[in-house]
Amino acid sequence: MYTETAIISDNTLAGPEGELVINVGPQHPATHGVLHLVITLQGETVKKIEPHLGYIHRSIEKMCESLSYRQFIYVTSRMDYLSSHINNLGCAICVEKSMQIEVPQRAKVIRVLMSELTRIASHELWLGAMAMDLGAFTPFFYAFREREMINEIMEDSCGARLTMNYMVPGGVMYDIHPQFREKTKAFVKQFKQKVVEYDDLVTNNIIFQNRMKGVGILSKEDAISFGCTGPVARGSGLSCDTRKIFPYEVYADVDFDEVLETGCDSFARYMVRVREMHQSIRIIEQLIDNIPEGDFQAKTKAVLKPPKGEFYQRVETARGEFGVYIVSEGGTTPYRIKFRSPGFSNLSALDHMARGSKIGDLMATMGTLDLVIPDIDR
C-alpha cells in the first residue's frame, strides 16, 4: 500500500489517480462515539468507507458468562445506553421464557410504558443531534426540553436517568412512583403542543430538506441484504417492527401503526423516527389510565437456574431489533450469551449508502443511521 501512496499529512494519504485516504474519528463529534472511518475519496466523492471498530470493546458477551442470570441483564444498559430499558427487557423476557416465569399484568404494562418513554427520549436526542450535525444548533435545546421531562419520570421510579437497571426477571424492580401518571400525562400534553416547533425548525426547513432528500439511498432489497432493522429499514419500506411481527408483553393489545416510508433516503429515515414518536404517544395514552392493580413483580427464587437448553428473545429498541441468545447448562451462570444488536448491521450498510456521494453528505447519511457505538462495539 505505502509503495503507491505518499503521506500528505498525519491524517491523509494520497493514492493512485488522485485518490485521498482520510480518517474520520475515532474522536470526531459526528461519529457520536469512538468510531473510526477510513474514507477513500476521489476529489470530494466518496469511493469507499471502511469502519474500524474496537476502540470501546469491553467483551460484554464474555463478561456475561461469569455473571448470574440477574446480574448480566444490566450489562446491556451500557451497550445501547439510549435504549437501556428495552435492552434490559429483552434479557429479562429471555430468562423468564427459559424458566416459564409468569409476569404479572401490572408489570407488563409498566414495562411497555417505560419502553415507549425510552423510545421517545432516544428519538428526541437523535433529532437534536441530527440537526446539529447539519449545522442547526437551536433544535438540540428544543428536543432536550421534552427529553428532560422523561428523564425526571425515569429518575422518580428508577433512581437513574440513563442506565436505569429497572427490569428484573419476573417484572420490575420497584413499583411506579406515585406521581408517575401525573407526570407522564403532563409530558404527553406538552409534547403534543410543542411538536409543531420541531416541524417549523427542522422538518419543513428547506435547507434541511435539501441536505437530506436523495442522500444516502438504501433500497428495500439492500436493507434486507445488509440485515438492517428499525427506522433504517422502515425508511426503505421494509416491514420489520418486532412489536408487530413478534409481539411481546402487551403490544398485541394496544393499537398503533408500524411507520413505513418508501423514500429510501435520509429524509425518509428522519420521517420514520418523527412519526414513531407520535405512535409511542398513542401507546402511552392507551395504557397510562389502564395500569392494572396487583403485583409489580412475580415471586422468584433468589438464585435462578434455567434448565439446560437454548433460548432466544427479540425486542424492538429505538434503533431496531435487539436479540438475546442464551445457552444454559443448568447452572447459575450462562454457558454462552450472544447479543444481536441493531447498530452493527445498520453500520454495515454505510459504505454502500455513501459510495458515489459527496463527503459533505456523509454526515446526513451517518446521522440517520442513529449509531450508538457501544451497541456496535460491545
Do 17 and 134 reside in the same domain of the chain?
A: no
Do 188 and 40 reside in the same domain of the chain?
A: no
Residue 113 has pLDDT above 90, yes or no: yes
Do 17 and 91 reside in the same domain of the chain?
A: no
Residue 325 has pLDDT above 60, yes or no: yes
pLDDT of residue 199: 86
The mean pLDDT of 93-108, rounded to a whole number, is: 94
Going from the C-alpha of 211 to that of each of 123, 125, 194, 291, the distances in angstroms are: 20, 20, 24, 43
User: Residue 27 has which C-alpha cell?
Assistant: 474522536
pLDDT of residue 15: 56
Contacts for 13 with CB less than 8 Å, ≥ 6 apart? 5, 6, 7, 20, 21, 22
**Among candidate residues 35, 52, 69, the one where a domain is terminated:** 52
Determine, yes or no, domain membership for 159: yes
Do 279 and 303 reside in the same domain of the chain?
A: yes
- Output 85 or 32, whichever has higher pLDDT: 85
pLDDT of residue 25: 76
The mean pLDDT of 321-326, rounded to a whole number, is: 95
Determine, yes or no, domain membership for 101: yes
Determine, yes or no, domain membership for 43: yes
pLDDT level of residue 1 (50, 70, 90 thresholds): very low
Q: Using the CB atoms, write b or e for 318-335: b if 16+ within 10 Å.
A: bbbbbbbbbebeeeebbe
Do 10 and 86 reside in the same domain of the chain?
A: no
Do 246 and 371 reside in the same domain of the chain?
A: yes
pLDDT of residue 164: 86
pLDDT of residue 2: 31
pLDDT of residue 223: 95
- Give the percent of the chain with pLDDT over 70: 95
Do 12 and 102 reside in the same domain of the chain?
A: no
The mean pLDDT of 207-236, rounded to a whole number, is: 93
Q: What is the pLDDT of residues 263-273, one digit of tens each?
A: 999 999 999 99
Domain that holds residue 21: 6-52
The mean pLDDT of 116-130, rounded to a whole number, is: 93
Domain count, the chain: 2
Residue 57 has pLDDT above 90, yes or no: no
The mean pLDDT of 318-337, rounded to a whole number, is: 94
Do 174 and 242 reside in the same domain of the chain?
A: yes
- Give the percent of the chain with pLDDT over 90: 69
pLDDT of residue 320: 93
Residue 111 has pLDDT above 60, yes or no: yes
Pair 352, 12: CB distance under 8 Å: no
pLDDT of residue 27: 78
Residue 161 has pLDDT above 90, yes or no: no
pLDDT of residue 10: 46
Contacts for 124 with CB less than 8 Å, ≥ 6 apart? 143, 144, 146, 147, 150, 277
Determine, yes or no, domain membership for 99: yes
Do 320 and 266 reside in the same domain of the chain?
A: yes
Do 10 and 103 reside in the same domain of the chain?
A: no
Residue 126 has pLDDT above 90, yes or no: yes
Residue 333 has pLDDT above 50, yes or no: yes
Assign residue 241 the CATH number of its domain. Answer: 1.10.645.10
The mean pLDDT of 89-113, rounded to a whole number, is: 95
pLDDT of residue 13: 53
Determine, yes or no, domain membership for 262: yes
The mean pLDDT of 288-312, rounded to a whole number, is: 93
- Output 3 or 95, whichever has higher pLDDT: 95
pLDDT level of residue 226 (50, 70, 90 thresholds): very high
The mean pLDDT of 220-245, rounded to a whole number, is: 94
pLDDT of residue 224: 95
pLDDT of residue 148: 93
pLDDT level of residue 5 (50, 70, 90 thresholds): very low
Instruction: Provide the whole-model pTM.
Output: 0.91
Residue 155 has pLDDT above 70, yes or no: yes
Do 241 and 334 reside in the same domain of the chain?
A: yes
Q: What is the pLDDT of residues 11-34, one digit of tens each?
A: 555 555 778 998 987 877 777 778
Q: Using the CB atoms, write b or e for 12-26: b if 16+ within 10 Å.
A: ebebeeebbbeebbb
Do 226 and 273 reside in the same domain of the chain?
A: yes
Determine, yes or no, domain membership for 1: no
